Amino acid sequence: MINEPIALSKALASFDALWSPRIVTRVNNYDVRIAKVEGEHIWHAHDETDEFFLVLDGELHISLREPAGERTVVLPQGAVFSVPRGTEHKPYAPSGTAILMFEPTGTPTVGDRHDEIPAHVDATTGHTLDS
């Protein structure tokens, strides 16, 4: 990782792929990832870790399957939300959205349990940010 300040706007401008996060830095054993998203991701769950979302631009919807039933949280620009470990969830962005996530290094974007992975979703543990 580069030990210099990173402008998130410049980092986001360096790639176009949707649902394909880039690792901008690491904090202890966590990746700080950014992604451009639009449309639907897939239902998935991370069995061993929570997942933190910060909406940098646009709006993100996250559907959750919880013991009390299904619900959707709507995150406008500047909002944060953490999905508890083991909770099935499906992110959706009605239009172009930029997000920042904290996840343990090596966490797959499609979780430990997931629906079939469509072609528009990149099943990865994050890509290195091109400098």
pLDDT tens-digit map of 93-108: 999 999 999 999 999 8
Mean pLDDT rounded to a whole number for the chain: 93
How many structural domains comprise the chain? 1
116 CB contacts (<8 Å, ≥6 apart)?
42
Let me know if residue 21 belongs to a domain.
Answer: yes
Higher pLDDT, 81 or 120: 81
Residue 2 lies in a domain: no
Residue 87 forms part of a structural domain: yes
| DSSP H or E stretch at residue 117 | none
Confirm whether 52 is domain-assigned.
yes
Alpha carbon 117 to chain centroid distance?
15
What is the pLDDT at residue 1? 60
Q: Give the range of the structural domain holding residue 44, as residue numbers without chain letter.
A: 8-115
Is residue 102, in this structure, part of any structural domain at all? yes
In a domain, 65, yes or no: yes
Domain containing residue 28: CATH number? 2.60.120.10
Does position 39 have pLDDT exceeding 80, yes or no?
Answer: yes
Average pLDDT of the segment spanning 19-38: 96
- Is residue 122 a part of any domain in this protein? no
